[in-house]
Structure 1
Amino acid sequence: MSVEIYTKLIFLVGLSFTSFGLLTYTRIPRTYSNKLFGALSLGFALWSFSWFFMLVYTQNDSVALFWARMLNFGAIWIPILYSHWLLSLLGLQIRRRMLIICGYSISLIFSLFAFTPLFIKGVHPIFLFPVWPDPGMLYLWFIGVSYIGVVGAAIALVAHKFSGLSRSERYLMLYVLGFGGGATNFFAMYNLSIITPTGLFLGALGVLVAPYFFAYSALRYGLMNVKIIFTEAFAALLVLILVARSLTSETNTDLTVNILTLASVTVFVYLLVKSVIREVEQREKIESLAAELSSANEELKKLDAAKSEFISIAGHQLRTPLTVIKGYTSMVLEGSFGKIPDSIKESLNRVLIASTTLAKLVTDLLDLSRIESGKIRYEFKEVKLEDIIHGVLQELEETAKVKNIPLIYKNENAADSRMIGDFDKLHEVVINIVDNAIKYSEHGSVELVLRKLGPGNSQRLALSVKDSGIGVKPEDIPKLFGKFVRSENAKRIRPDGMGLGLYIVKRIVEDHKGHVRVESEGVGKGSTFSVELPALS
C-alpha cells in the first residue's frame, strides 16, 4: 500500500468517526454511556484528521509539526474516554470514580504540554512515511501513565469481572483489540527495530477498521439505533465520494453523468435512511408494547392468584354452614324432629333447593380454584356409577318436583357399573349435568340412561342425560365447555349462572380418561349430554 492510498483511507476513517460521533448525539437517546461513546468517536476523528493533514503537508515541516502535535493532542484524551466508556457500560463509573478523575486530570496535564517540544519536539521520516512525530521527554511518561496505567487498570477491572459477565457484556473485551493497531506506532516513534515497515502498515491498517469494529461491537452490546448510525454514515460517505467525483470531472459529459448519478444516489439514500428509521422506530415501539404487555401479564397473574386464594378461603368458609343448613332442613322435612304443618313444608323445600344450589356453586368455585392452581386431587378407588346416579336423583328430587319435571332413570345393560374413579368428583359431574337439565327445562322430563359399550377390556360406561329444555345453537356447542361460557338462551332464562359447571365436568371426566359431549337439534328442541368413562371389567 502506498502512502497516498493510506492518506486517503485515513481521511475516510476521520469521516466515519465524525459521523458516528455526531449521529450518536443526534439519533440515539442521550444516556451517560452514549455520550461517552460520541465523545470517544470525536476524539478518534480529531486524531484521524490530524494524521491525514500531517501526511498531506509533508513539504512544510512547521505545518506538519503542528498537525503532528494536534494528532497527539487527540491521542491524549482517547485513553481516558475509552476507559470511562468501558467502565460506564459495566456500571462501574461510580465505584471507580477516583480512577476516572485521575485519568482526566492526567490527560489535562499532558494536554497543556501537547504543543510544546516537551511532548512532540519535531517530525522526521521513517520507513515509507515522509513525516513522523518525534517524541519529547514527556511522551514516554504519557505512554506509561495514560495507556499502560489508566487503560491497563480499566482492562484489569473488566478481566476481573469477565467470568461473571453475560454473553453480550463479554463483547466489551473486543474493544481492547482496537488499541492494538495504534500501539505499534509507539515503537516507530522511538525507532525500535522490533517493528518493521510491513508491521507498521499492518498496525496502522488496524486503525482503518477501528470505527466499524467499535460500532459493530457496540451493536452487539446493545447501543440503541446503531443500525441508523451505520446507514446514515454509509449514506453520507457515499454522497461525499460522489460530490468529490463531480468536482473533479474533466469533461462536461463526465460532469453531467456524475451529477445525475449524485442526484439518483441522494434520492436512494434518503429513502433508505427513512426506511431504516421507520423500521427501527417500529421495532422499538413493538419492544415497548411487548414490555408493557409482559408487565400487565405479571400483574394479571398476581390478581389471578389473589382471586383463586380468595375463592378458596371464601368457599371453605361457606361450605360448612351450607352443609348444616341442608342437613337440618332435610331432617325437618323427613320428620326427624316431629311432624310439621304442610304450610311450612313448602317454605322448607325452597330453603333446601336454595341451599343445594348454593352448595353446588361453592363446590364449583372451589374446584375451579384447585384446577387453576394445579392442586386438584383425586382419590381413585372402585366405585359404582349407578350408586352415584341414584344419590344425585335423590338429592335433586325436590328440585324436580317443584318444577314438575319427572326424573326418569334406565339402566339398559350396565348391571355391573363398577369403575375406578373419585366418588365425590364423579358425583359433581352427574349432579352438574342433571341439575342443568332440570334448570333449563320448563316442561317434559329428564331422562337418564346408563349403558355399557364396547367389548372385553375396552368396555366403557356411557351415561346420557336427555332433556326437553331450551336446546343449544350449533355454533354454541364447541364453546359450551369453556370457562365462564354460557349461551345467550341460558343467560336469558337463568341470569344467575356463572358458566363453570360444564367446564369442571369436562376437566373431571378427562382426568378420568373419559370424554363428554353434547348434542342438540337446535333452540327449543332439548339437548342430550353424554359422558363415557372406562368400565372396570
Structure 2
Amino acid sequence: MDPNKIFAISALINGLTALAFFIVVLFGLKKSFANRIFALFTFFIWFWSLGYYFWLNSSSYEEANFWIVILNLGSIFIPITYYHWIATILQKNRKVIIKIGYTLTFIVSFFSSSKFFYTGLSPIAGFHFWPVAGVLYPYYVAILYGGYFFLGLFDIIDSFFKEKGAKKKMIRFILVAYLISLISGASNFPLWFGIKILPYGNFIVFVHVFLFSYAMMKYNLMNMKTMSIQVAISFIAVVTFVEMLISNTIQDFLMRVFLLIIMIFFFSLIIKTSKETNKQKEKLEKLTTELKQTNRKLIVLDNAKNEFVSIAAHQLRTPPTVIKGYVSMALEEGKNKLDNKTKDYLKRALISNERLIELVEDILDISRIESGKIQYNFKDNQDCSEIVDELYKLFEIRAREKGLKLILKKSKTPLLKIKMDSKRIREVISNLIDNAIKYTQKGEVIIETKNIDEKKIRIEVSDTGAGIPKKDMSNLFKKFSRGTSTKRLGVNGTGLGIYVGKKMVKIHHGKIWAESEGINKGSKFVIELPVKWKE
C-alpha cells in the first residue's frame, strides 16, 4: 500500500484531534495561562499535521514544497510550546530557559523554507517528495527538539519524585504521554538523513494529546464532563468541515454547511453554559475556602474566649465563697445579737450570693464542656431512681412552702439501671425540678420515671405553671436564652441551666426536649437516656 496515503490518513486524524482540542481549550475553558499555552501547543500540532496531510497528497514538487514549509513551521514551534506548558503546570520557574527557547525558535523559523533547513525534496522509502536535511536541521533536532524535550523529561521526573497523592498520579499520566510524544515525533527524523526507517510514530501522535487532556481533566486542571462534550462536538464539527471541503456535489456541500452551522450554534450554547457553570463552581469553591478560613479563625477565637471565661470564672469563684462563709457565720443564732432588719438584709445578701455562685458554676461548666476539659465519671449499672428519690425529698419542702404539690410517679417496674455520670445527671434533673417550681405559681409539679422498650429510661418533669409560648420553643435550649415568662413572672435566672443540661444529656447519648400547649398551660421537660452506649 502507498505509504503516502497511509501516513496522510494518520496526519488527518492527528490534525482533527489537535484542532478539536485547540477549539475547546481556547474558547470553551477558563482563560488560565496553562490552558492558553496548551491551546498554542495543540495549534502547532494541528498546523504540523495540516502541512503533513497536504504534503503527502501533493501531486507536484512545487505543491509539496509549499506544504513542507507549513509542516516545518508547525514542527519548529512544537518543542518550545510543549516545554512551556509542562513547566507551567508543574510550576517550575524556567523563565530564562523558555525565553531562550522562543528566541531560538523564531530564529530557526526564518530559515524553515531555506536550503539551510532542507536542501530539497527527493523520493525515499515509497514517499514521492521527502525533504533532505540541510546544515541547520541537525542543530534544530539536537537543540530545540532534543534539548527542550529532555529538559521537559527532567522536570517531569523531578516533580514525580517530589510530589505525593493525586498530583503524583497526574504526573505519571503526563510522563507516559510525554514519552509517547517524544518517540512519535522523533520517528520522522531518520528519513530526513536518508535512513530508511518509516515514521510509524505518527500513528500515535493523537494518543498523547488525549492522555494529556485526560490527566488535566481527571486531576481538575480542566472540567472533565464539560471538556469531554466539547471535544466530541468539536471533533464532529471539524470532520463535517473537512467533508464540506471535499464535497462532490452542490447539494452535498449545502447539506454539510447546514449541519456545520447547527453544530456551531449548539457548540456556542454549550460553551456559554459550561462557562457559566464553571464560574458558579469557582465562586462556590472560593466561598467554601473563605468559609473554612473564617471557621478556623472562629474556632481560635472561641477557644481563646473559653480560656478567658474559665480563668475569669475561677477568679470569681473565691470571693462569693468567702462572703457566703462570713454571712452564714453572722446569721448564726447565739453568737451574734442582730436585730431582725439586719438579719433580713443579710439573708437577702446570702440569697444573691448563692445566685452568683450558681452563675459562676454554670459558666465554668460551659467553659469546660465547650473546651472539652470537663471530667466525667461514667459508671455502668447506675440507678437513676435513687437520684430522683433524693431530689424529690429535697424539693418537697420548698414546693410546700410555695403552696405547691410535688408528686413523684415511679415506674411500675423497677427503673432500668444505666451507664451515667450520676453527679452530672443529678444536676440536670435538679435544674428541671427547680425551674418547674420557680415558674409555677399554683397547682402541682410532677416527677415521673418510666422504662422505654428495655433500652432507654425516661424522666419527665411537668408542671401547671407559666407554660412556654411557641415562639420561645426554638430558642429554649440556647445559651443565655430566657423565655418571655421569666420577665412576666419576675423570675431570676441566667438561661444557662437548660443549655448546660442539654450538653450533659447529649454527652450521655440521650435526648432532652420540652412540650407545652402555650402560656399558662404548663410545660413538660423530658429526659431520655440509653441503658448502654459506647464512649
TM superposition score normalised by structure 2: 0.78
CA–CA distance in structure 2, aligned partners of residues 80 and 264 of structure 1: 37
Asked if structure 1 preserves the Cα contact closer than 8 Å seen for 2:510 and 2:528, the reply is yes
Q: CA deviation at 1:423?
A: 6.2
Q: Deviations over 1:388-416 (max 9, x none)?
A: 6389649x95x996xx4558586979999
Secondary structure of the residue aligned to 2:467 is: coil
1:150 is matched with 148
2:432 is matched with 433
Asked if structure 1 preserves the Cα contact closer than 8 Å seen for 2:177 and 2:208, the reply is no
1:47 partner amino acid: W
CA–CA distance in structure 1, aligned partners of residues 327 and 135 of structure 2: 108
Q: Deviations over 1:91-136 (max 9, x none)?
A: 222xx44543554454355445433323211222233432222112
Asked if structure 1 preserves the Cα contact closer than 8 Å seen for 2:28 and 2:271, the reply is no
Q: CA deviation at 1:185?
A: 1.0
Gaps spanning 5+ residues in structure 1: where?
A: none
CA–CA distance in structure 1, aligned partners of residues 241 and 331 of structure 2: 104
Gaps spanning 5+ residues in structure 2: where?
A: none
Q: Deviations over 1:323-378 (max 9, x none)?
A: 23333333333448613322233333333333323332332222222222322212
Asked if structure 2 preserves the Cα contact closer than 8 Å seen for 1:444 and 1:468, the reply is yes
Secondary structure of the residue aligned to 1:125 is: strand
Secondary structure of the residue aligned to 1:223 is: coil
1:173 is matched with 175
Stretch deviating more after TM superposition (361-370 or 324-333): 324-333
Within 5 Å, give how 1:362-511 maps onto structure 2: 362-379=360-377, 385=387, 389=391, 393=395, 404=402, 408=406, 424-444=423-443, 446=445, 465-472=461-468, 480-481=476-477, 489=485, 493=489, 499-509=495-505, 511=507
Secondary structure of the residue aligned to 2:187 is: helix
Stretch deviating more after TM superposition (506-515 or 48-57): 506-515
**RMSD across aligned positions (CA):** 4.4
Q: Equivalent of 2:331, from 327, 330, 333?
A: 333
1:322 partner amino acid: P
When residues 205 and 509 of structure 1 are mapped into structure 2, their CA distance, relative to the original with a 3 A threshold, is closer
Asked if structure 2 preserves the Cα contact closer than 8 Å seen for 1:370 and 1:376, the reply is yes
Q: Deviations over 1:189-209 (max 9, x none)?
A: 23435x3x4xx3x41111244
CA–CA distance in structure 2, aligned partners of residues 161 and 534 of structure 1: 54
2:522 partner amino acid: G
1:65 partner amino acid: N
1:73 is matched with 73
Q: CA deviation at 1:80?
A: 2.5
Q: CA deviation at 1:163?
A: 2.7
**Number of corresponding residues:** 520
1:46 is matched with 47
CA–CA distance in structure 2, aligned partners of residues 53 and 127 of structure 1: 18
Q: Equivalent of 2:521, from 516, 519, 525?
A: 525
Asked if structure 2 preserves the Cα contact closer than 8 Å seen for 1:452 and 1:459, the reply is no
Q: Deviations over 1:405-445 (max 9, x none)?
A: 55858697999999986565345324422331233223445
Stretch deviating more after TM superposition (421-430 or 433-442): 421-430
Q: CA deviation at 1:156?
A: 1.9
CA–CA distance in structure 2, aligned partners of residues 474 and 517 of structure 1: 14
Stretch deviating more after TM superposition (10-19 or 37-46): 10-19
Secondary structure of the residue aligned to 1:175 is: helix
Q: Deviations over 1:225-259 (max 9, x none)?
A: 57656555544453454455456655565466555
Asked if structure 2 preserves the Cα contact closer than 8 Å seen for 1:407 and 1:446, the reply is yes
1:10 aligns with 2:11: yes
CA–CA distance in structure 2, aligned partners of residues 238 and 420 of structure 1: 69
TM superposition score normalised by structure 1: 0.78
2:428 partner amino acid: V
CA–CA distance in structure 2, aligned partners of residues 351 and 411 of structure 1: 37
Asked if structure 2 preserves the Cα contact closer than 8 Å seen for 1:388 and 1:427, the reply is no
CA–CA distance in structure 2, aligned partners of residues 235 and 468 of structure 1: 73
Asked if structure 2 preserves the Cα contact closer than 8 Å seen for 1:174 and 1:217, the reply is no
2:350 partner amino acid: L
1:182 aligns with 2:182: no
CA–CA distance in structure 2, aligned partners of residues 24 and 116 of structure 1: 33
The percent of aligned pairs where both chains have the same amino acid is 33
Within 5 Å, give how 1:19-168 maps onto structure 2: 20-21=21-22, 24-60=25-61, 62-93=62-93, 96-166=94-164, 167-168=166-167
Q: CA deviation at 1:144?
A: 2.4
Asked if structure 2 preserves the Cα contact closer than 8 Å seen for 1:460 and 1:534, the reply is yes
Asked if structure 1 preserves the Cα contact closer than 8 Å seen for 2:80 and 2:105, the reply is yes
